[in-house]
Structure 1
Amino acid sequence: MADHDTLNRFDRYCELLDSLTGTTPVISDVEPRVAGDGPVRAISYTGVPEPGYVTGFTYGLSLSSHPDWGPRGRELSITVRSDDVEWSRVPARVVAALRGICPFNPGQVLGYMEPYVEGSEMNSIVLADPAIEHGSGLLDLSGREVDAKPRDLVEIVGAYPIHSSEREFVYSRGFDAFWSLGWDRFNPARTPVA
């Protein structure tokens, strides 16, 4: 699984994210469920996309594969209006726990027994399009080899924190019904809408 994890690949990924966000991150390792599957890292940007926000990307999910993904990998991204950098690490903790088990498909909800961040009641995420748009929607980690075959393409999937009651709403009514409700996707302190 981790056979294509190289320092060059990780550096290329960080370069692309840095150019997308216009700043440099704080990188932290998250212990994976299975150490032999390769690293899981949280790449955290404070003040992105603007002051008062924190944005995080995962690295490590794309080291695995899933039939739903086709020939590309996936990584997760989160953006919330908060000064607590711990929110930017939530997707990496989810990846560390579920990589190799879960497809991480848009429209999917994932939950945890405890709140993700101290002081918040939110213990679930819903996956959808990422908050920060980027070109074609795919990042090419193939590096400098223009004719590299196969291409090392990575899709970024957005992760949005939600309450457990909202997770149950998605299970019973579907993603579209929940996504169409009026709720602030960037406020981790909001009250439940379902």
Structure 2
Amino acid sequence: MDNRAEKYLAHLDRLCGGAKAEFYSQESSSPALPGVTTLVHEGLSDGMLNAFTYGVSLAEHPAWQERTPELHLSVRSKNVIWAEALSFIADGMRGTCAFACGDTVDLGERVTPESEMTAFCVFAPALPDPAGYTGLDVSVAGHEGHDLIDIVGLYPLHDIEMRYLHEHGLEALWNRDWDPHDVRRQPAV
């Protein structure tokens, strides 16, 4: 494989056990960058929609020195709007958001009609082997050094939970009694 995207997709295919994926394209809002592709795996986990982006790592950000992120979302829903929201975030915030652990994304409106949630927080991906999703080498011939991707998780939040995270930190929120995959749950705070 001599294509960066092909190498990334091959990593995902191996890590997802060959689960069938649907591809969705998000046109780029930046003339300097190509669009974002989102892969949706509905059969990866029972009753869960799992989505992965490709395109965030094509942007530049001062915090991304050795590795660049791609996004993962895992929610208990069949509604593909969650994956579309992931694409929208990836395209609109790449290069401006570091997508570092504890960062939040506020959409300012409900993501889907089925949920009251309006925001997301960044944390480790909700995958069987999170360590297998860091440092994915997608270097191509002629590239000096390594081109590494870390997959980071986005988790839907209620507005009040986002405010709680900003006031008390990610650890305080994460240690509450809540299911980060349940898009119909009540706020944890």
Greater mean deviation of Cα atoms: 123-132 or 112-121? 112-121
Deviation, 1:158, is 0.6
Q: CA deviation at 1:24?
A: 2.7
**Aligned residue type for 1:25:** A
1:67, CA displacement in angstroms? 2.3
Residue matched to 2:8: 13
**TM-score normalised by length of structure 1:** 0.88
CA-CA distance at 1:78 after TM superposition = 0.7
2:32 aligned partner: 36
Instruction: Give TM-score, length-normalised by structure 2.
Output: 0.90
Q: Deviations over 1:50-72 (max 9, x none)?
A: 22111001111100122222222
SS in 2 for 1:159: strand
Partner Cα separation in structure 2 for residue 113 and residue 154 of structure 1? 29
Q: 2:122: which partner in 1?
A: 127
- 1:118: Cα distance to partner? 2.7
User: 1:166 offset after TM fit, Å?
Assistant: 0.6
Residue equivalent to 1:56: 51
% identical equivalent positions? 32
Q: 2:146 aligns with which of 138, 151, 174?
A: 151
Contact 2:176 2:188 in 1 (8 A): yes
The AA in structure 1 aligned to 2:138 is: L
Q: How many residues align?
A: 186
Does structure 2 retain, via aligned residues, the 8 Å contact 1:27–1:43?
yes
- Whether 1:168 aligns to 2:163 is yes
Which ranges of 4 or more aligned residues in structure 1 deviate by more than 4 Å?
none
Query: Contact (CA 8 Å) 2:61, 2:96: kept in 1 or not?
Result: no
| 1:77-126 deviation digits (Å, cap 9, x = unpaired) | 01111122222332221111111211111111111121112321111001
